[in-house]
């Protein structure tokens, strides 16, 4: 029965001020977070950074594929018989020369 007669407990002013300050700081952080989320400039920066990261990832994958392909081509070229490689090179050179001669003749006529 003694508890019922005691009435409300006294509030410590320091504790109350500390709780108010804590709540105020939480509210300020919440408002800052909301402002950051709805800011067009911040949203643009985030989208731009995400685009850059994705582009960098794609470029890296492309570089890796190109390196693998170059390695495979290098291996295959290394496996060619030197005589066959020489014949192919000579054939390409003759084709380029013949094309150049045709172009020059057409210009002169």
Per-residue pLDDT averaged across 80-106, rounded?
86
- Helix, strand, coil percent content, the chain, rounded in steps of 5: 90, 0, 10
pLDDT at 34: 92
Residue 2 pLDDT greater than 70, yes or no: no
Query: For residue 80, what pLDDT band results from cuts at 50, 70 and 90?
Result: low
pLDDT at 7: 62
């Amino acid at each position: 029965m003694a508890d019922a007669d005691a009435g409300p407990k006294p509030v410590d002013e320091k504790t109350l001020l500390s709780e108010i300050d804590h709540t105020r700081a939480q509210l300020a952080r919440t408002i800052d977070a909301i402002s950051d989320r709805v800011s067009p400039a911040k949203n643009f920066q985030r989208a731009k950074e995400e685009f850059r990261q994705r582009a960098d990832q794609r470029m890296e994958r492309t570089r890796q594929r190109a390196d693998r392909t170059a390695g495979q081509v290098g291996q295959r070229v290394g496996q060619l018989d030197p005589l066959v490689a020489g014949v192919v090179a000579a054939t390409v050179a003759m084709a380029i020369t013949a094309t150049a001669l045709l172009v020059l003749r057409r210009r002169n006529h």
